[in-house]
Structures are given as structure tokens and as C-alpha cells.
Structure 1
Amino acid sequence: MENTKFGCFFLVFLGIFSATLANQEKDRITWLPGQPENVNFAQYSGYVTVDKSAGKALFYWLTESPSNPESKPLLLWLNGGPGCSSVAYGAAEEIGPFHIKNDGKSLYLNKYSWNKEANLLFLESPVGVGFSYSNRSSDLYALGDSRTAKDAYKFLVKWFNRFPQYKHREFYIAGESYAGHYVPQLSQLIYRRNKGIAKPEINFKGFMVGNAVTDDYYDYIGTFEYWWTHGLISDSTYKSLKTACLAGSSQHPSIVCNTALEMADSEFGNIDPYSIYTRPCNSTASMKRSLRGRYPWMTRAYDPCTERYSNQYFNLPEVQLAMHANVTKLPYPWSTCSDIVGTYWSDSPQSMLPIYRELIAAGLKIWVFSGDTDAVVPITATRYSIDALRLPTVNNWSPWYDNGRVGGWSQEYKGLTYVTITGAGHEVPLHRPRQAFILFNHFLKDRSMPSRSR
């Protein structure tokens, strides 16, 4: 009898294991159009249904590490907007192993891809972003922070069931811009769901955010100060902004605040606020809207033409076929940012600082970084938010070095590390890929940024 029970159990286990392998293989990317020859890592992409009744599914792209992927952690990368694609930004022009050539048809390897240190999971979230979809169109008009976090959590639970080899593996979350909301909120949800579980399947260890929307009040103070101290706006506009905007919300600014913001925008002139010292792409056909929903008055954005290449590449039928994407034949083309999602955003808490306090107390690893040439979520805004946490300093503000040159500055607090990257704009890994790679390496190892003596 015992042997019979064991045999039945073994057959059930074998059936589940075989089905899991089959689902993984169904998502395996065997070859991407325009992919270089010397690719030595596995990659998968496809859909995970997060609400069967609504036909709601999120699209992911996993690029494993080329060396010893089974021993490396898993990193989930999220872009913000709300409404912008992590495939377009995080994967295709920042930390992913492939970047797109200017022909919009072929790829080249990113020398400083973060998949050398971790397995990278890119998620297009929420529904309506990129290839992610819902068959219930009303879902696109009822999105917000809370819904996004809950759907992302459902995605992770189901994704780990599809890829059980990643269960119990060290897991981190990173992102930038409005992901300064997504990342802490998803982190909090995972942390709370893991409470009381001795060995959680999602072995969450910490998060990292860059040029991150954090707190409406401090973001405004720091942003206006950055504009003024960098000569982007007049004295009178600076005073108007402080008078009109600080009492309100950046998600829903008052009429008077909007007037002041529009005046500031006109005084900027023809510069790129996402990277104030960078010459923008001559083409205006595609403009990044990483914070379009958050700051609707900010009409220009960083566009070194990479978005145009993404729009070409990910709309190619052969690319979508290779990535198991657009299986429902969406009635609109893939785009870097959704025109709908950010416009109808309904839920955006004014501050993430209470979540920081909770997760710092929990002992999670938390790093925050800033590119210092970004005028949209500038270094001053982030410093004001961190200062508001009133954390004890462990290591004082000091420069860190890359090959003898200052790469930026850092300060270590009890429970949080803050790092700046000199010369980088809103998308740090795009502007300073080598320095961003060094940052990620030290984050994973929880080591201080390199000093001159190293």
C-alpha cells in the first residue's frame, strides 16, 4: 500500500514538473530578429494572467545571466510614467543585455548589462502598458498605485510557479522615475505577505530606486530649488512656484500652480529637462513621457532617438512572434508610453516616506540613487525626502571613484544608502552605464561605493 501511495505521489509530481517545464519552454526565446551571434544566455518572454475573468495579462521578459545563472539573484525592473514600458526603457536602452541599433531592426550587446550580476526580469505594468492588456477596456480607466501593486504581486506569485527554480532565490526590485511609487509599494506588499513565513517562496531582500518620485512636498521644494540654482528659471518664477505649489499635490496641481509651472517651462527654453546638459535628438517624432502623467505641463523629455528605435523594433511582426507578444492582436501599436494609462490615473499617495520607514525598520536593503543633471526629479528633491526620514548617519557624504575619477557622491544612513552619479540624467544607466553597473554591483554586495584608495 505504501509503495502504491508513493508511486501515485511520484506520478503526480512528475506530471506537475513536466507541465512546468513545458510552460517555460513555451516562453523560451530561441532567437530575436537582428540578434548578434555571440549570445550566451537564456531568455524567456510571454504573458502571465493576473485576472482570468477580465482577461487581464501582464507581459514579461526574462534575460538570464550568461554565467552561473542558477547561483545569481533575480532582479525585477520597473519603469514609471505612469504608463511607460520597462521593455522600452529598462531593457532596451538602460540595463538590459540588448540595445537597439539606429536602423530599428537589429540589436547589439550592452557591455554593462546588469544581467552579468543578476537574472533580469522586466515587467510591462500596469495593463495597457506595452504588450500588457485587459479584455475589459474599463480596466484602463480605473488604474492607480494600489491596483498596480496588487496586479504586480499576483504576477510574481504566478511567475514563480512557472519558474520554480527561482523560488527562495534572493530577489530584489529596482526602478526609476514614477517607479519611485511602484517599487516601495510592491516591496511593502511582498514584505507583509511574507510575514510569519519561515522560508517564503519570494525571498525578498530589498530594493533600489533612481531619480524617484517620493514625496509631493519635498519633490516640489527640491525641484524648484534645482531649477533656480541651475539658472533655468527667473527669481520671480521661483517665488511664484513656492507660493502657489507647495501646499498642493503634484498629481493634481491648482490652477495658480499650473500657471507658475507653465511659466517655468517657457523659461527653460529649448533644453531637455531630463538631461539639462545633453543635446537632444533632432527628431521630435518620439518624446519620452516618463512623468507625463505626473507632470503634464512638462512637454519635452529626454530623447536621444532611442525611443524611435524601440517603436520600430517592437512593432515588427517577426519580433512580436519571437517574443510571444501581442497574441491577442491589440487594436493599437506597441508604444514606449501609453496615452491612456497616465491620463486616467486615479490613485497616487502623496508620500512614500511612511513605507520607507516601515521597510527600513524591517531591515531590508534600501538604496536610492540620483543622476545629477535631471531637472524633473532632481538630486535636491531626493535629498530633501531622505533628510525628512531623520536617519542616523553611518558614513558621511563623500566622493566615490571610478578609475581615479569622481563617479559621484554617497552617504550611508542607518537603513539606507544614497548615491549620486555625476553627469547622469533621469535615466542613469543610459547616461553613465559603467558607473551604474558599479552602483548595482555594490548594491548587491551591500558594500560602500569605491573610495580613491581601492
Structure 2
Amino acid sequence: MASSVSSSSSTFLLLVVVAAAYFAGSFCRAAPAGAQVTSLPGFAGGKLPSKHYAGYVTVDESHGRRLFYYLVESERDPAKDPLVLWLNGGPGCSSFDGFVYEHGPFNFESGGSAGSLPKLHLNPYSWSKVSSVIYLDSPAGVGLSYSKNVSDYETGDLKTAADSHTFLLKWFQLYPEFLKNPFYIAGESYAGVYVPTLSHEVVKGIHEGVKPAINFKGYMVGNGVCDTAFDGNALVPFAHGMALISEDIYKEANTACQGNYWNGSSADCEEALSKVDTAVEELNIYDILEPCYHGTNVNKSRVPQSFKDLGATSKPLPVRTRMTGRAWPLRAPVRDGRVPSWQELAVSAPSGVPCMSDVVATAWLNNDNVRSAIHAEPVSSIGPWLLCTDQLDFRHDAGSMIVYHKNLTSQGYPALIYSGDHDMCVPHTGTEAWTSSLGYGVIDSWRPWFVNEQVSGYTQGYEKGLTFATIKGAGHTVPEYKPQEALAFYSRWLAGSKL
């Protein structure tokens, strides 16, 4: 009898220990079989810093329309930390832009020779330090996403938002363990349209009782397009404030165009604006402080010979020589109707799209072993990965985003609108103007915010949870230029703290 009691007690204690360990330290998973990424070609650092999952979600069975995602779980506490959907812009640009060049878990180092695989090193400023991040290629035809019906590549803002919402609903069915996590939507550049339109679809679904119920808590937009007039009128004041044009040129343009630069119709206005264009045309529009490479040759003196040359606290490896984003010609903001593709802009520009080179991401994502490791269709099946595709016939059909921002924030969804202050593609002057135009009272007056006791930018807080912030010295893709500062404002905002 004593032996039997002892055996039962031992079994009971073992079950208690196992149960305690399970509930205290584990994350109950329901991920689809075969979705976990167990290793990545180019990464020799051993175990991945957190669990990664990748694959496709079919958003339209009849057309075979499939969107590719890559999930990086939080390195801190994936069971409780926020879950963030990341979208790059274009329209037509892959969110692997953010993964490879901005805030993904790795810094990428060129393999050094043609055809060699890039080397991956851990990124100390990855956004997965404080959150789980889903990188989504959207719409179909972008990055690794595709459709078996080419008619799907005729799309626009509204269809993209609807498809992305369908993706989220199906994704949460595959990963129900994340339904309780605070969920945010974030993106940059043309995602200034993607983010609020998708957020609108999510909120509408919540009101309509669509299941699964998404625990949506807010959204972020970085250097994002918003409104034709505000964006179109931003460049001339920006150029003047940055001493890129003279006081005389500024006064001439302001007088001739009467402050309406994006749609100036008089001959005097056009002549004045041509002087502005001439003054700034040789600059890198994504960061006026960075050099602009006009050919295919990279200035090798600026590229480190090895990762260790950079030191542990350096910014990410400078493996590309231009910053991606919405590359419309100067004074041509996004308007209703068809939006030119990246390649069309390159053809129409006198010397091509400025400062463009994305060799490292292209080499990695078109490697057969990489495609296999991340569960993506091979190049032979869906074609090569391109940073920005020319497959889409894309229409801007959602109008101004101001009405979306007003609607979302008035319902209590916080928004962080941030701008790298040296971006000439979507200048901070326009973003600051439209955020102010919403008419909310200021509750946190214009002031600097800090990282390591250094001014990292400026911020102003409004009612309804609206925050505007600049990042000092950053260009169009803020985490690429200022990774430490980007992680700081990102983590603080997600935590509900003031910047």
C-alpha cells in the first residue's frame, strides 16, 4: 500500500511540475504544420533569436490568389507582447524591404562576389525585440505573393485593403494563439494608404461581429502619403527650410503659385517650379544627406570589408545605396486614378529612378535554398523576387486618407505618424500640416524626444491618441537610417508611453 501511494504521489507531482512549466513558460501554438522556419541560408549564428513562421494564405480560392507572410515572434514574450503587421509601400513594393533593410531580425552583409549568398548577422535593433511582426507581401503580384489569374494584378487601394483583411482573418485562424495579443498595423511610404484603409476594414469587421475577433489597438505610418494637396505642397517649403533653394527662388514660387505647388497652372508658376526642380534634381530624394549613385558602380570606399569593421553599436550594414519608397517625380503626389509602376517611373525619368540598387535582397530572396527554407514558391514557379514589381495595374481609388485618419482616431484608435526629417520623397512638412489639420487639441506641445540623452527628433501629441513625431537625420525609411532611435520610439509607443 505504501509503495502504491508513493508511486501515485510521484506521478501527481510530475504532472504538477509539467503543467506548471507549460503554463508558466510556454506559448500554446496552433501554427500550421510545416510553417516553422527552422534555419536560414546565410545565417551561421546557430539558433534563430525567436521562432519564425512563413508561408501562404489563399485569399481567393477561385482565382488562386495567395499572399505570402513571414512571422517573426517576439524575442521577449510572444504570448503577451504586441503583434504588428508590417506593410511596405510602392504601390507594388515587397515588405521584405522592411525585413532585409530596416527592422528585421538580421543585418545583411553582401556575399562579396556575384552569385554569392549574403551573410546574416543578428540585428540588435530588430523590432522583434519587443513585438512579434508579420511581414506581408500585398497585394498579389508583389514580392512572393501571386495569383494564378493575371486579372488579379489589376487592383487598387480598396481591393488591396479587402484582400489584406481577408488575409488577417484567415491568418488568425491559423494562429489563434495570437488573438488575445494587442494587434497593430504599421507601414511606410505608400503604406500611408495601405495602413488606414486596412485599419478601416478591420474596425468595420469588428463592428459587424466578423470572426475571429481581431484585438486591434492602433496603427503607425512612417513618411506616408496621405492627401494630394498636403503632400503636393510639401516639397517647396521643405526645400526652402533645408536651404536647398534660395530665398529668392522660394519667394518667386510662392508668389507665382500662390502656395498651390502641386497643381500650379500658370506659366509663371511652372517656370518658378522648374527652378526648384533644377536645384534639387541631383539629390537623393530619400535622404538629402546621403549620396546619390547615378550608375551601377558602388563607391566601395563606403562599404565595410567585414561585419566586424562596423563595431557592435553601428547602424545596419550599408548594403544598398538608395532608400526605397514611393518614387513619384517631384511635384507629382498620388492622385486619384492609375498610379505609375516603379519601372514606368524609371523609364520616364531622365536618368532613371534615383539612387536605386537592391542587390543583396534580390540575391537572397531568389536563392533556391532560401525559397525552400521560408516555404516560398520557387523562382521557376512564380518568377524572381523584385523589390518593386511592374506586374500591377494599380489605381488609387480610396481618395484622401484624412477622412480615414479622422474616423479611426475619433473612435479611440491611437495613431503614431512619424517622419524622417531629411526625406524629400514624402517631406515632413506635409505630414505635420495634415496631422494638424485634423483639428484636435494639443495635449503635448512640440518638444524634443531623446535617446541616450541626445535629441532624436521632435514630437507633438494631440487629443484622440494622435501623435506626430520627427526622427532627426533620418530619411524615407526611418529604421534603415536610425535603427536605435526607431526601436526606441516604436517600443515606447507600443507600451503606451510618451516618446
Question: Which runs of structure 2 are paired with 1:45-56 in the superposition (5 Å)?
Answer: 45-56=54-65
Q: Tell me the equivalent position of 2:481.
A: 431
CA distances 1:302-326 after superposition (whole Å, capped 9, x unpaired)? 55x5x21101111111101111112
Q: Classify the secondary structure of the residue corresponding to 2:468.
A: strand
Q: Who is 1:94 aligned against?
A: 102
Offset from partner CA, 1:93-146 (integer Å, 9 cap, x none): 111101211225221111100101110100000111111001111221x21100
Distance 1:316 1:266, change over 3 A: farther
Number of equivalent positions: 420
In 2, the alpha carbon distance for the partners of 1:78 and 1:180 equals 9
C-alpha change, 1:279 and 1:328, in structure 2 (3 Å) is closer
- Give the secondary-structure state (helix, strand or coil) at the position aligned to 1:133: coil
- CA distance in structure 1 between the partners assigned to 2:30 and 2:379 by the alignment: 21
TM-score of the superposed pair, with normalisation by structure 2: 0.78
Equivalent residue, structure 2, for 1:417:
467
Q: Which runs of 5+ in 1 are unaligned?
A: 1-19, 450-454
Conserved in 1, the CA contact under 8 Å of 2:94 and 2:387?
yes
1:41 aligns with 2:92: no
| Larger Rg, first or second structure (1 or 2) | 2
The residue number in structure 2 matching 1:13 is: none
Cα RMSD, aligned residues only: 2.8
2:394 matches 1:345: yes
Tell which deviates more after alignment, 347-356 or 380-389.
347-356
Q: Which residue of 2 aligns with 1:112?
A: 125
How many Å separate the matches in 2 of 1:327 and 1:277?
38
Secondary structure of 2:55's partner? strand
Q: Tell me if the contact between 2:169 and 2:211 (Cα under 8 Å) persists in the aligned partners.
A: no
Alignment correspondent of 2:193:
181
Q: How many angstroms apart in 2 are the aligned matches of 1:432 and 1:274? A: 14
- Counterpart residue number, 1:313: 364
After TM superposition, list the pairs within 5 Å mapping 1:254-333 onto structure 2.
264-280=276-292, 284=296, 290-292=325-327, 294=334, 296=345, 299-301=352-354, 307-327=358-378, 329-330=380-381, 332-333=383-384
Asked if the contact 1:143–1:347 (Cα under 8 Å) also holds between the matched residues in 2, the reply is no
Kindly tell me: are residues 85 and 405 of structure 1, through their superposed partners in 2, closer, same or farther at Cα, counting changes over 3 Å? same
1:193 corresponds, among 189, 197, 205, to 205
Q: Does residue 428 of structure 2 align to residue 379 of structure 1?
A: yes
Alignment identity in percent? 36
Following superposition, the deviation at residue 198 of structure 1 comes to 11
Residues 261 and 163 (structure 1 numbering): CA distance in 2 closer, same or farther, change over 3 Å? farther
Partner-residue secondary structure (3-state), 1:335: coil
How much does 1:282 deviate? 7.2
Q: 2:178 is matched with which residue? A: 166
The corresponding residue for 1:78 is: 87
SS at match of 1:345: strand
SS at 2:233 equivalent:
helix
C-alpha distance 191-261 of structure 1, shift in aligned 2 (>3 A): farther
| Aligned position for 2:414 | 365
Pair 1:135–1:255, CA change in 2 (3 A)? farther
Rate the CA distance shift 1:413–1:199 in 2: closer, same or farther, 3 A: farther
Shift of 1:247: 4.2
Structure 2 Cα separation of the partners of residues 59 and 255 of structure 1: 48
Give the equivalent residue in structure 2 for 1:210: 222
Q: Aligned partners of 1:364 and 1:255: how far apart in 2?
A: 45
Query: How big is each residue's C-alpha offset from its partner over 1:43-84, in whole Å with a ceiling of 9 and x where there is no partner?
Result: 011110001111100000001112321121210000000010
